[in-house]
Amino acid sequence: MSQKKTAFITGITGQDGAYLAKFLLGKGYRVGGLVRRTSHSESMTQRLDWLGITGDVELVDGDLGDISSLARIVQRLAPDEVYNLAAQSFVATSWQQPVLTANSTAVGVVNVLEALRLGSPKSRFYQASSSEMYGLIQEPMQSETTPFYPRSPYAVAKLYGHWITVNYRESFGMHASSGILFNHESPLRGIEFVTRKVSDGVARIKLGLAKELRLGNIDAKRDWGHARDYVRAMWMMLQQDQADDYVIATGRTTTVRDMCRIAFSHVGLDMDSHVVIDPKLFRPAEVDTLLGNPAKAAAKFGWTPEISLEELITEMVDADLARLKPRAS
Ligand code: NDP
Ligand code: GDP
């Protein structure tokens, strides 16, 4: 009988970490995850609770900024696979906290890589890279060979994470892959991101808890997929004999306006009567449009997305309606 594999996930309390943990448990993995101590630990496992898996994962204390904690965890778990999903992940916040963003989103990556190089060099490593690295796009459809042009402190930090992953692969022969994932969402998406802000806002308006939804640049276009589809791609990358870099995207781009219209029309409301454009929500530098080409992942390991934007947005609106209903009655 083959031995149970162990995976270690940084960012397990986040959207992707929770879905990935569930996916790996389903494949029979032992799953360990990094958690940061806070003064309100009861809310820490919200997403894992939502998926019903809190009791099935091993949560270990540490922080991306504390390499001693990472070294200790690597020694204790001896992971076959490490998924580095932890980061300060919100673009808008990265202008307010650029140094913190650099420390976790950039330096955090090399901390994990060093802990592995010194303590478990055979572990396979996944880095959560981002389509935000394309920023001011240099090609209409972005692939692994498209030049990067980051437009926020977040994207600059992610670019470091991407290249240090490539560098550790090339310098030390580590099995280190970088997944360049385009935006992916779910009912577990943070409330500050636009899809979730919209699904939550639509649910509030429908239930009579709010009248308007304030948004920034609704002409921006994104290539949105479902987190459940995207965590499957992370795992598939680490099952390849050779580590490599892959774009994960749907190949379809939609404006924030049209995404919003899907959400409002799902509950029979007219978005034009409720959306208010708030100039304060515009960003110092915008990424106007993103559109990914996932052909390499499809050709190398047969990954294709299964959930459409319409299914994603309606699932999110329905989940927020269910969450908020008790407050409306
Ligand atoms: P979330 O913001 O939902 O989760 C981020 C996770 O990182 C949380 O678990 C958070 O912990 C943890 N974290 C942050 N800072 C530290 C730190 N210093 N030490 C330890 N843990 C830390 O992000 P997502 O799940 O959406 O994204 C996962 C990764 O993928 C991120 O790196 C993100 O930048 C990247 N990415 C995401 C995309 C998307 O569309 N979702 C697109 C492309 C890349 P806590 O709960 O304590 O805050
Ligand atoms: P990002 O692509 O990682 O920055 O994901 P977001 O969901 O935060 O933003 C996607 C796009 O929606 C960006 O171009 C934002 O400028 C745009 N957007 C418009 N209004 C809002 C808003 O109110 N909140 C957020 N988060 N984004 C908004």
Residue 1 has pLDDT above 60, yes or no: no
Query: 254-255 and 221-222 as β-strands: parallel, antiparallel, unpaired?
Result: antiparallel
Give the separation between CA 101 and CA 112, rounded to whole angstroms.
16
| Cα four-point dihedral sign 318, 319, 320, 324 | positive
Identify the nearest ligand to the CA of 197 by its number.
2
Query: 58-61 and 30-35 as β-strands: parallel, antiparallel, unpaired?
Result: parallel
Distance (Å) from CA 11 to ligand 1 centroid: 5
Closest CA to 153 of 135, 174, 167: 135
Distance (Å) from CA 92 to ligand 2 centroid: 8
Q: Determine the pLDDT at residue 2.
A: 66
Query: 225-226 and 124-130 as β-strands: parallel, antiparallel, unpaired?
Result: unpaired
Task: Provide, for the chain, the percentages of residues in helix, strand and coil under a 3-state DSSP scheme, each rounded to the nearest 5.
Answer: 45, 15, 35
**CA-CA distances (angstroms) from residue 67 to 35, 39, 162?**
14, 22, 19
Give the separation between CA 24 and CA 52, rounded to whole angstroms.
14
Q: Whose CA is nearest to atom 43 of ligand 1?
A: 130
Dump pLDDT digits (tens) for 197-207. Answer: 999 999 999 99
Give the separation between CA 95 and CA 287, rounded to whole angstroms.
14
Q: Determine the pLDDT at residue 103.
A: 98
Shortest-distance atom of ligand 2 to CA 220: 14
Q: What is the mean pLDDT of the chain?
A: 97
Q: Whose CA is nearest to atom 13 of ligand 1?
A: 86
Shortest-distance atom of ligand 1 to CA 86: 7
Distance (Å) from CA 88 to ligand 1 centroid: 6
**CA-CA distances (angstroms) from residue 92 to 165, 194, 224, 250?**
25, 11, 18, 24
Q: Which DSSP string corresponds to 120-158? A: -TTSEEEEEEEGGGG-S-SSSSB-TTSPP---SHHHHHH
Q: Determine the pLDDT at residue 228.
A: 98
Q: Widest CA span of the chain, in angstroms? A: 61
Identify the nearest ligand to the CA of 150 by its number.
2
Distance (Å) from CA 126 to ligand 1 centroid: 14
Identify the nearest ligand to the CA of 131 by its number.
1
Distance (Å) from CA 62 to ligand 1 centroid: 15
Q: How far is residue 7 CA from its own chain's centroid?
A: 18
What are the φ and ψ backbone dihedral angles of 299, each rounded to 5 degrees?
-70, -40
Measured from the CB, is residue 181 less than 6 Å from ligand 2? Answer: no
Distance (Å) from CA 270 to ligand 2 centroid: 21
pLDDT (mean) for 95-102:
98
Q: Which two tokens stand for residue 245?
A: 């870099």
Q: Whose CA is nearest to atom 12 of ligand 2?
A: 194
Q: Where are the beta strands (DSSP E) in 206-300?
A: 213-215, 221-222, 225-226, 245-248, 254-255, 275-277
Question: Position of tokens 């029309």?
Answer: 265
Confidence of residue 39 (pLDDT cuts 50, 70, 90): confident
Shortest-distance atom of ligand 1 to CA 84: 32
Dump pLDDT digits (tens) for 179-196. Answer: 999 999 999 999 999 999
pLDDT (mean) for 91-115:
98
Residue pair 143/253 in contact (Cβ under 8 Å)? The answer is: no
Please name each of the domains of the chain with its CATH number: 6-184+226-248 (3.40.50.720), 190-222+252-289+307-328 (3.90.25.10)
Give the separation between CA 248 and CA 294, rounded to whole angstroms.
5
